[in-house]
Structure 1
Amino acid sequence: MAIKPAFTIAQQVQQLKTRGMLFHNEQDATHYFSTISYYRLKGYWWDTQNDRVNHTFKPNTYFETIIERYNFDRHLRLILFDAIERVEIALRTKMIYHMSLKYGALWYIDCNLFNDNVKHASHLTHIFREFDYSQEIFKKEHKRKHPHQDPEAWKILEVVSMGTLSKLYKNLAHQIPEKTIIAKEMGLHIHSELSSWLEAIVYVRNIIAHHSRLWSRNMVKRPKDDIATPMFDWLDQPLTDVQKKKPFLIISTLVYLTNKVTPGHHIKDKLLELFNNHPDVPIYKLGFLNNWNNQSIWK
């Protein structure tokens, strides 16, 4: 395949025009391409093409429509990141509290508390590496006062990533009562359900942290939707395959979990307001279809 030449902004705009895209204001397009790359925006116009070989656009495809999708997606990610923060901090707090009270300050080191010792060793490597990278004052104080002592769980687990925390929780031995206690305090009766949800949420968190696109994206990690005896309003109608593979399902898990860990939150209200403020954005591209708003959790 021949290496393509780099295009100026003017050439980028002209290429879209040649392919059939319309512009209400080309000067605005020039501004946007100076701050948002062509390939970042490409993900938002991909489905507006009628020929994905020649990349020609369907009639009446406007650049401004693409920008509205882009801005919608950016606001969506900000709302979801707020929800993820609440879930992450609650999980971190509950793991530190319950496990430390029962098994001591250094429980995270005890391989007997985990299912897979190989995975546990790998997780420990990540945990200590993340602690070493941390610039928190309490980390520096620990290193100064206790240079040869492993930090207590409430110190070291406060700075590890949600991904590492999720893996640590999933690898806890199933027979440990605290694993189920933590799941119930997060709103689920079964720890495997929480593990599934956390894994999917971490995946979305990484997308958001890298400012990547959620719009019309298929989720590689998909949480369980058929949970046992939900404690709160959940999805009480069958989901289509599209709803399971698009962000809709993971977004629903975040609404459910925040209902438990931060009652009175406004995550769902903010999402519904976002949808209402962008009536021309086809949210079915995110899996919000088939009377999604009649599901108990979204009513």
Structure 2
Amino acid sequence: MTTTTSTTVDLDELLAAARALSLAGRWDRAVRLLDATTCDSSVDRARLALAAAEVALQSDWFGGTDLTGARAEHAEKLSSGADHDLAFVRLRHDYFRLLRSEGAFRPGPDGKDPEALAGLRRRAHDLHEDAPDEVRRGWAAMYLGLIADNLFAERTVAPAHYEAALRAGERGGDDLLVREALRHLGDHDHDAGDHDRALERWERATALGARAGMVPGVLTQQLLLAVLARDSGDAAGAAVLAREIARWADAIGADPVRAQATGFLAGADPTAPPQDSGS
């Protein structure tokens, strides 16, 4: 027999706990915690639904699920009006879907709807202009960079957006935004042949992800460190690290991360830039 009990928990603390579980790769547990929570306030129910959509997005990205669409629709039904954070979830989800064409990550504009690409960039710009604070503006700048980099293959355009995101994250104390900006700025350093600068940025990004408890994100960062190890001639060390990344990713159900690590072991370069549509 199942016994149901109730208790009172501060909603901010509960949402923080669910976010921590999600960052650690415990997406199912995070969603169950949110779904098991009841609130009398319609505002609080909307906050729970938004948090569940954010967890679903993490699960889709790192765990290979397909949960965000339904969760975001539910959050929209409970929202009382324009919601910047929910619009940002939608933006990130649509970016992910455009990037992940035909079941695999396919950077660049080839094979993608030009109107959808233009619309996504316009929405990111609007979120940047309408952001209620500096950190949210920084996250919108981050996605303006990602959209330019990975969907339009505009490699010279993206770094300025990443730099703006980095400044916003550092001023606002958002470790995850700083991590994200460093991750992609380091990618540009790597492509430019400045491996020392890439290493500095990627090591810092790895530490920030660890401090935030972002287990799958730490694994993806470590894979970038494996790339640098292989580039520097330490193929054996790179392989050892990649095998550990694959093992850890498999253990937590982060299938896309595991696939990246095994692809690296087979010789793939996860930092390969998108190809221009005319090439």
Greater helix proportion: 2
Indicate the structure (1 or 2) with the bigger Cα radius of gyration: 1
Higher relative contact order (CA 8 A, sep 6+): 1
How does the TM-score come out when normalised to structure 2? 0.27
Query: What TM-score, normalized to structure 1?
Result: 0.26
